[in-house]
Amino acid sequence: MAESENAPMVVAVTFGRSSFVGRSLVAALLSDGRYIVRVVDPQPAPDPTPSLSPFFKSGRISYHHVDIRYRSPSLPAAITGAATVFHVDPTASALQLRPASSSDFHRFHLLLVQSTRNLISACRECGVQRLVYVGSADVLVGGESEVFCFDESVAYPEKYVDGLNELRAQTEAIVLGSNRMNGLLTCALRVSNPFGPSDDKLVPTLVKGAKEGWTKFIVGSGENLWDFTYIANVVHASIFAERALRLRTPYVDGRPFFITNKEPVKFWSFLSSILEGLGYPRPSIRLPAKLVFALAEIARLFQEKLHLPRASNPIVASSTIRSFSMTRTFDSSNAERILGYSPVVSLEDGITLTIASFSQLANNSPMYQRDLTKSSKAEKLLGDGKVASILLWRDDRRTFALLLALFLLHYWFFLSKRTFVSSAANLIIYFALVLFIHGLLPSSLLGLHVERIPLSSFEVSEITLRKASSEMASLWNFSIHTLDKVAQGEDWGILLKVIGFLYFIKLCLLFSLKAVSAVGLVGLFTSFIIYEQFEGEIETIIATAGCGFDKIKEFLITHSPSYMVKYVL
């Protein structure tokens, strides 16, 4: 059937309501003015929005409630007379946080693979001429290795960590394998991480993460690159792909094309830009990817063995940790050269427009507006020096090395089944032996310079000893002064503090020394960083508790006999 250049072209868009990319594509086609759009979607027909009402009245858009996961007569009826079908991947997202579990696999298979088979069968039955599949670049993401500027010549991975990516690859293969069957021309767009206004996954997920606290952490080095694609560029590429099929441009039908913004960006910098634009703190704490991955695997094993519900925090999934710490970039030069595609909105402008569209999610609480250039209360408490740097994980390697050394010492003294004296004696012997061997080594060994350890490294200065003695004396005098106040029986507040302290010591003595030391070691390396990250929340809790105690005190003063008031005060 010949197509008139002047008459509007009838096109159909699958998942044109229920998916972010589909909604954006429908809006762009209507704005273009050259298309009559049929929305094919499993969700019921919506009430026309003010922006779409004129198009419904003029007949430029029609809605077809069809669940294409299952064969039904309503699907051929919806696309009959359409020259082109835009088949949208409803799972496409810029922040896929969880892999498809075994329980999800059947559902996603119906949504992606079976839906595509049903749609292509209907297209061939109804004589549809063109099908543009708007899919995902994740079809080449196996999950076990980094993706550096992959182009269309790279084959599908042999193994997928995430079953959803495998289903996407199967869907794309079905689309491309159906090319030129019954006159149907097909091509596939591999969109890399679409984002933009009306995206109901990326920004809401980040805001939720900022409120829960997990967006404060950077997994890995923070240098890994990703390709993100602004939604206007996605729909722009889709229209160009349809035109290329219509004009029978060589090397288009039966082929896939990567679509990106052509501006690879550090993954964590991209997230930081959106979070800061909405008034939330940017990720600032680096955690070693291998350590986090190991903890996630341990958590997964516990969850499976104990049949616990899946954690709400998405970053605990091992596949997510691996993905967020790896590079994922693609080469979209084929789309530029063959389709004529080029981004119409830059990445920076796309981020700005996205932030502006989610102003209702912006946070104005002073809790999130702390000046990150100033020392936190935790840093000031630890002295703003090396101790603060280590306990607040500013230097990952040094902190991890010290933590490992302390755990080894804990094992040596408490878990090696030797007495404490025996362990200490053996440690001193080994230390002396190492120093002796080190002293015998030549200044150069196998071309490597052997640095001498001066004896002064083991000396303790007189000033340090005096300072330590002074602090111990001050602590002793403070204890005596406190006991004196308790003996006078005038300050009930101090008495309660002393009783609480003694009960805490008693509680600690109920456990073995190795258990107390292990808990203390873990607490030393976690409590300060937790306090720093949730400083606002903790201060709020303390302030609320203080107000509660003040009200209780005021109540007791008001309702107690006069001779008891002095004890309450």
Higher-scoring residue by pLDDT: 567, 551: 551
Domain count, the chain: 1
Q: Would 43 be classed as within a structural domain?
A: yes
Q: Would 105 be classed as within a structural domain?
A: yes
The answer to whether 228 and 21 have CB atoms below 8 angstroms apart is no
Q: Tell me, what's the pLDDT at 494?
A: 77
Q: Would 531 be classed as within a structural domain?
A: no
Distance CA 289, CA 529 (A): 18
Phi/psi of residue 403, nearest 5 degrees: -60, -40
Q: Tell me, what's the pLDDT at 365?
A: 46
Q: How confident is the model at residue 307 (pLDDT cuts 50, 70, 90)?
A: low
For the stretch 349-374, pLDDT in tens is 999 999 999 999 887 644 444 554 56
Among the ranges given (203-217, 388-402, 406-420), the one the predictor scored with the smallest mean pLDDT: 388-402
Within 10 angstroms of residue 387's Cβ, the number of other Cβ atoms is 13
Q: Is the pLDDT of residue 1 over 50?
A: no
For the stretch 165-190, pLDDT in tens is 999 999 999 999 999 999 999 999 99
Q: Is the pLDDT of residue 45 over 60?
A: yes
Q: Would 473 be classed as within a structural domain?
A: no
Full residue range of the structural domain in which residue 342 is found: 9-368
- Listed in sequence order, the residues at least 6 apart from 406 whose beta carbon sits closer than 8 Å to its beta carbon are 521
Q: Tell me, what's the pLDDT at 368?
A: 44
Q: Would 440 be classed as within a structural domain?
A: no
Q: Would 243 be classed as within a structural domain?
A: yes
Mean pLDDT of the chain: 84
For residue 274, what are the CA distances in angstroms to 21, 218, 353, 399, 500?
19, 15, 10, 30, 46
The answer to whether 532 and 379 have CB atoms below 8 angstroms apart is yes
- Read off the CATH number of the domain in which 261 is found: 3.40.50.720
Q: Tell me, what's the pLDDT at 270?
A: 96
Say what the pTM is. Answer: 0.68
Q: How confident is the model at residue 227 (pLDDT cuts 50, 70, 90)?
A: very high
Nearest to 144, CA basis, from 258, 266, 293: 293
Tell me what the mean pLDDT of segment 215-237 comes to: 93
Q: Tell me, what's the pLDDT at 348?
A: 96
- Listed in sequence order, the residues at least 6 apart from 175 whose beta carbon sits closer than 8 Å to its beta carbon are 87, 116, 120, 131, 133, 135, 186, 188
Tell me what the mean pLDDT of segment 531-554 comes to: 74
Q: How confident is the model at residue 77 (pLDDT cuts 50, 70, 90)?
A: very high
For the stretch 451-478, pLDDT in tens is 767 766 667 777 878 888 888 888 888 8
Q: Tell me, what's the pLDDT at 563?
A: 59
Q: Would 480 be classed as within a structural domain?
A: no
Tell me what the mean pLDDT of segment 129-149 comes to: 93
Q: Is the pLDDT of residue 376 over 50?
A: yes
Q: Would 71 be classed as within a structural domain?
A: yes
Higher-scoring residue by pLDDT: 342, 95: 342
Q: Tell me, what's the pLDDT at 2?
A: 47
